[in-house]
Structure 1
Amino acid sequence: MPLTVHIEEMVLRLAAVLAVAGLVTAIAFPFAQEPITYIWYSLLPETVERAGETISTQPRVYGPLELKLMELKLASLAGLIAALPMGVYQTYRFMRPGLYPHERRYYLAAVPTSLVLAFIGIAFAFFVVLPAIFTYFLYYSENAAEIAFALQQTFNLIIILKAFMAMVFQIPLLIMLAIMMGVTTRRWLENRRLYFWAGFMGIAFIFSPDPTGMAPLLVAATMVVLFEGTLALLRWTGN
């Protein structure tokens, strides 16, 4: 098959993915303010007591377009998430003619599992990591500074941590695939676990946007637990 035909097919499949993302973004944009309010007050109380005063934690906007840009960012994120299954399907259809049967099985097993793990990671960030971080943020500077969370910076932190946790939760799948494909063994990983722990700490502190150190510590601890939990499961199943 000529290269131009492959390129044309790739462009058409990419266009289908972008069309889904664009459609969902356009539908979600007029309603984006409601999820912003929901997410904000799910992670922060409406008021907090500081030095005998009741202080509101409502988001601060420091630019004329900040709120609208945040709504667009959230709607675009919804479009991207909605387009993921279409992207997976179109990628598989494009690659399928060139894949061996065992490679197709790996793809069909790994990709849906990866998506499920990503959503579990996002949920873990929303219900465990972010509440702990924001509780710490509310009180670590008590009596030293007044609380004023900016909308854009706060939501950037939320989005980055959710995306990062979605990637962190791929650790079990990556370990399983590496062992299934013969790239490594459980014993090799166990013998070098301290190197992996150190690597997890370094990655967490580099990519977690929190100078207080609270977020990197939580992320690194999660990575270690996922790593050790996967090895324990492999040991229990005899692999």
Structure 2
Amino acid sequence: MPDESDEGADVDGSEEPQEGTRDDAIETDGEGYVHDRPDSGAGETEYPDPEPDDDVGGISTPPDDEEMPLADHIEEMILRLARILLVGAAATAIGLLGASQAIEFIWFNVFPGPVEEVPPPHVYHPLELWLSRIKVAALAGILLALPMFVYECYAFMRPGLYPNERKYYISAVPMSLVLAAFGMFVSYILVLPILFRYFTYYSDASANIAYGLGDTFDMIITLTGFLAIVFQIPLFIMLAIMMGVTTRRWLADKRLYFWAAFLGLSFMFTLDPTGMAPIIVAIIMIVLFEGTLFVLKWVGRE
């Protein structure tokens, strides 16, 4: 006669879980979330279908996010890039009206010493003056096209952004313009005078210096435009952290990699065979990077 204690046991001898145990009360969905097990009344576990706006597997989608064909994405990107180039070209054309006065003003202010001691510019081919005017006017194009670039990037990514991310990004447009102008200002009053003082001191003892207009303004414009972009570093860091792309702690842990990247970019985009300009620009980039991390730590943003 079978023992009553064996009732409720399976054929293989394993016991069924008792009612009210932990295994019967909860279960996980594979994503680390624990849910109460609903009682359908029919002996089977049933879960309601999620609503379209609900998180599925712990992942939610932005409210305006929708699938688009790749060709449409490429077409939209090209159109937005064309708008950026159009704004830059229009600003450059307007800047040509005052390019000659700008060349004279910049020339006599970036060289150290009184005006009478500033070496005059030398023109070595017929188009050099006009090319220099176009390059100077292009600075206005860079200044206005940079915030336009930030805005068009925002508009392109807007459907895939959450409302708080949109707020952070759209506030970056005027800030981008301010930082670009400040970067040009720092180049004009600090970096360029230091460089030309160094060039003059380095060459004065061995030869009479004759600065070519075209080559000199190539360096001035390249350095000024590059610093306008370099001063976007704090903005990019703040946006990346606010949007959850990275954290201040991760950036601090990887700072040596960023320092090396800054030095490499400086030598790549700064035209100076003596190496002084790339070093100065790299130092500015590191100061901006570390200064931004310090401010974030000071306000308690990790």
* TM over 0.5, shorter chain: yes
- Classify the TM-score, shorter chain: 0.7 to 0.9
1:120 maps to: 182
Give the match for residue 51 of structure 1.
none
CA radius of gyration, larger in: 2
Q: Does residue 43 in structure 1 map to residue 105 in structure 2?
A: no
- 1:87-166 equivalences under 5 Å are 100-166=162-228
**Structure 2 residue identity aligned to 1:108:** I
Q: Indicate how the Cα distance of structure 1 residues 80 and 214 shifts in structure 2: closer, same or farther if over 3 A, else same.
A: closer
Deviation at 1:74, TM superposition (A): 2.4
Residues 1:193 and 1:21: Cα distance change in structure 2 (over 3 Å): closer
| Residue 188 (structure 1) aligned to one of 239, 246, 250 | 250
- Distance change (3 Å), C-alpha of 1:125 and 1:104: same
Name the % identity: 54
Distance 1:165-1:25 versus aligned 2 partners, 3 A rule? closer
Give the structure-2-normalised TM-score.
0.65
**Alpha-carbon distance in 1 for matches of 2:252, 2:147:** 34
Per the normalisation by structure 1, the TM-score is 0.80
Superposed CA offset, 1:5-58 (max 9, x none)? x969x859956972x55555444424321110000001124444xxxxxxx611
Give aligned pairs, total: 230
What one-letter code is carried by the residue in structure 1 that aligns with 2:300? G
Amino acid in structure 2 at the alignment position of 1:130: L
Asked if 1:235 is matched to 2:297, the reply is yes
**Higher helix residue share:** 1
Note the C-alpha offset of 1:69: 2.1
The equivalent of 1:32 in structure 2 is: 99
Amino acid at match of 2:240: A
2:285 to 220, 223, 226: 223
Aligned to 1:172: 234
Offset of residue 106 of structure 1: 2.6
Q: CA-atom RMSD, angstroms? A: 3.1
Alignment CA distance shift 1:208-1:237 (3 Å): same
1:209 alignment partner in structure 2? 271
Partner of 1:148, secondary structure, is: coil
